[in-house]
Structures are given as C-alpha cells and as structure tokens.
C-alpha cells in the first residue's frame, strides 16, 4: 500500500534501495525538497510515523542521510533523503506528523542537520550547557572528548495571568525512578500545561554502538533500558541477522518469544501494582510484587539471570530449557494465573480505586493517532497495533495456532492502560503455556555472520511497552556505522503531556505511572 502510494505520487523521482534488509521492508530515496511531500503522501495513505532519524554517511562517500519510517498495518516503508554535508538541512515533517517535531529536534541537536519549517528549534537532549558545535553523532565528533560547559538558557513554555503558578519537578524525583524534569503550569489544582524536559540520562549509547563489534552490540542493546533488556537485545539481533541472512534455529525463536513474554508479564505485574499504589492501594503493589519476584527467581534458576540479560545473542540464544524447567514454568504459570485472577477481582471491585483510575489522564483515540502512539498506550486509546500480530517472528507468525488476542480499549484513561496490561498478562500466561508445550527440538544457536559493507537492517519487536525499532547500517569495512534505537518511549512521552491536561496536580503520579515510559530508552 505505502510502496504503491509513493510510486504513484513520485513516479520516476523515487528510487528504491535494494540494500535494505529484511526484504519485507522497503526503502526508497526521494529528492530533498520533496521529503515533506512524501510525508503528505504517507499521511493520505493512513500511515503512521514510526521513526525519523539521520545517519552520517560521509565515510561511505556520501553526505548525511535523513530517514523517516512509516507504518501501515504490517507494512514498513523507509523514506530517505540525501543531504550534502556542506548544506545540512531537510524539510520538516511536522505539518503531516506531530511526533516529528521531537525527532527533528533530536536530529538537529545530535547530528546538526536543521529541519526547515519545524516551529520548535530548541535543542533536545543536548542541554543548554553543551557547546553549540557539539554534534556527537557526526563522524567528525570525538566520542572520548570531555566537553567544556558553556552558559546558556533553556526557553520554557510560560503561562501568565492571575492565579497561574508553576511547579518544577525533577530531575531527581521523590521515588526510586529515573531522572527527568517536568514543569507544570497550574491554576488552583488544575494542570493547564505540562512540559517535559528529558535527556538527563543521555549516555551516548547510539555513538557507543559505532565503536563496538557487531557481537558486542547485543550486550549494549540489552542495557538501553534495563527493564526491557530482552526486547531490546532481541530487536538488535533481529536487525543484524536480517543483514547477514542468518537463519536462526526454530527453537531459538521460540525461546526468544518465551523470554519476551516472561519479561512482559513481570513488568506488567509491577506496573499494575504501582498504579494501584499511586492510588493509595498499597495492598496490590505488595501482592503483585510478590508474584513478580517469583517470576524473576524462576528466571534466575532456569536462565541464569533475573532479567534474562545477555541471553539473546546474534544467531540465537545462550540458554536452553530442559524438561524439568518446562514443568517448573507450567507449575509457576498455574499458580500465577490463580493468584492473579483473585487480585484482578479485587482491583475490579474496589470503588475507591475505580474512582481514581477511571476518567483520569485521558488520551483520546484521535490524539493517540495524531501522536502515532505505540504499545500499551496506543492500545488503551483505540489503536490496534502490536508487532506480534503485524510484524511477527516465529512462533507469533502462526496466527491460527496461537490465536493471540490483543486487547484494545477506547477510553484512553488510567484504567484503560491498567486493563490492557491485565489482559496482556492473561494472554501472555496462556501463550507461555502453549509455547512450552509445543516447543520444537532444534539447536539454539548458529553463527550470526558478518554484515556486508554499506548495507542496512531493520527490525520491529513488541516489547512490553510497545514497538521497539532498530535500524542498523554498516560502514565501508562492514563495521557498525549507525545504530538507530527507537524505544516506544520516544513517542509515548508526548502522550503523557496531553493526558494530564485538565487533571489535578495530585493525579500526575498516577497518570505518569500508567504510562511508565522509559527515560533511559528515550535519552539513549
């Protein structure tokens, strides 16, 4: 659909790039001045913007490449435009796609390519005390350097008028959470504006990838966001395997799916508990964190790590499961399901909890679509998106066998986001059982091989927060030239800003917890 749409609109002015892997993902190049027009065509074809990024291709004898990835159903289309290094700008996509404004701020800040027409030219992630000429993703930037701090000022959105006041929060928050800054403008108790400022945990991950050998990249990917370690390392590995043509054994795929679902269950249990805790119902937090701890301990016993870090590697997985381990997981799932259902009933029947979570922090379906939201947040706001259905790897591709039921709610409130998680826990328990019972007997690992020079790979994996995208590009010697990471948080953070509008300030923690986006995955 998308491919046809762009061919119809651009005719001979669009060139398709055969070096993009996997073959199911198309990549094309359009002239720079028509990059914005391509976005318009995509918008008309009902596509959503999945990611926008830039790559320094000077070592490949070109200038910069600016990329936009669009998604419609199960089709991904990457539209690229080439930007000469002496004249670094490209047309902004903001007019067609709202989330582009933040992607483009990031491209400007870290790669030094301006998005012409983007109304927000403030830096993002790059703080005001960075030297203006520091563009870390450029090849000419020395990653090992110590930057001097300069004086500068960040221009905040302001609100004025009688009774309007501001509440700055962070970066060091009251709880045990990651750092970020939130600035509320409020009248009385009502929030009239929320502005996020993230980037505090920027560790130079994307730059770091470029200094690693391919095999070690999976380890770093596993530490992009520690709570999503399986999904991130899996997405990295799948993108890399698509470049080398590596055929991962069937059993390895199934084990990866098993790890992914266990990660989903563990994090959802923690989140549901934490949402209830923020509505002053600590009982649920303690009950659910007990169940979560049980899962983590089983992970440690069976797979050697509580979060299964570094268990997914290029070419397969590092651990296998024995029949005794299978029995243990099945018994654990039985116990988990029984206890979980009791707790869901309590959640569902508690009026004081209902009072807090219903109609709080609403992200309307139309807004979620505008923001191109992904994952739990999207599914709680009426968008039927799930890579396990639309972009599956084995065993998810056996739809008739797995019958995966993806919950989609339309109320978009805190309750919807909690309920999507509850339904997903139920589904994950069911498919974990199914996968355990029918896991094929093959090997678990094959050599991954090395990507060819100047090629690129892509993957999209449904982590517990939502769709994670990796885009890898190899350099002239076949090394990592660029590793683009798009955590679901990069998009969904925008949803939180909208969802809290009109809510009272004390409900912010509840709204925030129901989104529970990653700071580290966003800041990279």
Partner 1 sequence: MIRILRQIFRTGIVTEQLPPALEEEIREVGAKLEEAIRQRFRRSLTIRQVDAGSCNGCELEIHAMNNPIYNCERFGMHFTASPRFADMLLVTGPVAWNMEIALRRTYDATPSPKLVVAVGDCGCNGGIFGESYASLGGIDRIIPVDAYVPGCPPSPTDLLNGILKAVR
Interface ranges with partner 1 (CB under 8 A): 125, 127, 134, 136, 141-147, 171-172, 174-179, 199-205, 207-208, 219-220, 223-227, 229, 270, 283, 286-287, 289-290, 292-293, 296, 306-307, 309, 342-343, 345-346, 349, 518-520, 523
Q: How far apart are CA 245 and CA 243, in angstroms?
A: 6
Q: How far apart are CA 182 and CA 168, in angstroms?
A: 6
CB of 510 to partner 1, least distance (A): 17
CB of 176 to partner 1, least distance (A): 5
- Token pair 């929060």 in the structure block, residue: 169
CB of 339 to partner 1, least distance (A): 8
- Token pair 């000419």 in the structure block, residue: 140
17-55 residues labelled b (16+ CB within 10 A) or e (exposed): eeebbeeebbbbbbebebbbbbbebbbebebbbbbbbbb
CB of 512 to partner 1, least distance (A): 15
Total number of residues shown for the chain: 524
User: Of 159 and 346, which has the nearer Cβ to partner 1?
Assistant: 346
User: Of 201 and 240, which has the nearer Cβ to partner 1?
Assistant: 201
Q: Are 287 and 209 in contact (CB under 8 A)?
A: no
CB of 280 to partner 1, least distance (A): 14
User: Of 24 and 345, which has the nearer Cβ to partner 1?
Assistant: 345
Residues 6+ apart with CB under 8 A from 394: 250, 253, 254, 257
Taking only Cα atoms into account, the Rg of the chain, rounded to an integer number of angstroms, comes to 23
Give φ, ψ of 452 to 5 degrees: -75, 155
User: Of 127 and 156, which has the nearer Cβ to partner 1?
Assistant: 127
CB of 410 to partner 1, least distance (A): 29
255-291 residues labelled b (16+ CB within 10 A) or e (exposed): bbbbbbbbbbbbbbbbbbbbbbbbbebeebbebbeeb
User: Of 343 and 429, which has the nearer Cβ to partner 1?
Assistant: 343
User: Of 184 and 254, which has the nearer Cβ to partner 1?
Assistant: 184
User: Of 72 and 127, which has the nearer Cβ to partner 1?
Assistant: 127
CB of 212 to partner 1, least distance (A): 9
């Amino acid at each position: 659909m998308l491919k046809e749409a762009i061919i119809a609109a651009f005719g001979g002015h669009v060139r398709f790039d055969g070096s993009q892997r996997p073959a199911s993902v198309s990549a094309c190049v359009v002239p720079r001045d028509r990059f914005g027009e391509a976005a318009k065509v995509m918008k008309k074809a009902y596509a959503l913007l999945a990611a926008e990024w830039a790559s320094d291709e000077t070592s490949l004898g070109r200038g910069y490449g600016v990329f936009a990835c669009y998604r419609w159903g199960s089709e991904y289309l990457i539209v690229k435009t080439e930007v000469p290094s002496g004249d670094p700008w490209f047309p902004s996509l903001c007019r067609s796609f709202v989330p582009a404004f933040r992607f483009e701020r990031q491209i400007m800040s870290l790669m030094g390519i301006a998005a012409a027409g983007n109304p927000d030219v403030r830096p993002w992630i790059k703080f005001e005390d960075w030297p203006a000429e520091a563009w870390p993703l450029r090849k000419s930037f020395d990653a090992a350097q110590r930057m001097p701090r300069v004086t500068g000022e960040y221009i905040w959105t302001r609100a004025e008028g009688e009774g309007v006041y501001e509440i700055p929060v962070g970066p060091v928050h009251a709880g045990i959470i990651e750092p970020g800054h939130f600035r509320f403008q409020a009248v009385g108790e009502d929030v009239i504006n929320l502005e996020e400022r993230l980037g505090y945990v920027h560790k130079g991950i994307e730059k770091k990838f470029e200094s690693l050998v391919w095999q070690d990249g999976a380890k770093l990917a596993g530490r992009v966001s520690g709570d999503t370690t399986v999904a991130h390392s899996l997405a990295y590995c799948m993108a890399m395997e698509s470049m080398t043509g590596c055929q991962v054994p069937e059993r390895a795929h199934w084990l990866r799916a098993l790890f992914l679902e266990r990660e989903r269950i563990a994090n959802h249990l923690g989140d549901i508990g934490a949402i209830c805790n923020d509505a002053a119902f600590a009982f649920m937090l303690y009950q659910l964190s007990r169940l979560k701890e049980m899962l983590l301990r089983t992970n440690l016993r069976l797979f050697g790590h509580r979060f299964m870090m570094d268990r997914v590697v290029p070419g397969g997985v590092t651990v296998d499961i024995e029949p005794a381990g299978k029995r243990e997981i099945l018994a654990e799932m039985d116990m988990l399901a029984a206890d979980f259902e009791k707790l869901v009933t309590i959640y569902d029947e508690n009026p004081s909890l209902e009072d807090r979570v219903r109609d709080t922090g609403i992200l309307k379906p139309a807004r979620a679509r505008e923001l191109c939201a992904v994952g739990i947040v999207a599914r709680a706001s009426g968008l039927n998106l799930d890579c396990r259905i639309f972009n599956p790897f084995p065993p998810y591709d056996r739809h008739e066998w797995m019958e995966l039921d993806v919950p989609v709610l339309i109320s978009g409130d805190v309750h919807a986001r909690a309920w999507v998680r509850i339904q997903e826990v139920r589904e994950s328990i069911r498919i974990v059982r199914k996968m355990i019972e029918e896991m094929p007997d093959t090997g678990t690992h094959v050599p991954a091989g090395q990507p060819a020079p100047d090629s690129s790979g892509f993957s999209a994996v449904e982590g517990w927060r939502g769709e994670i995208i990796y885009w890898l590009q190899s350099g002239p010697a076949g090394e990592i030239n660029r590793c683009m990471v798009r955590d679901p948080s990069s998009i969904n953070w925008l949803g939180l800003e909208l969802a809290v509008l009109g809510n009272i300030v004390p409900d912010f923690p509840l709204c925030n917890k129901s989104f529970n986006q990653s700071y580290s995955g966003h800041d990279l």
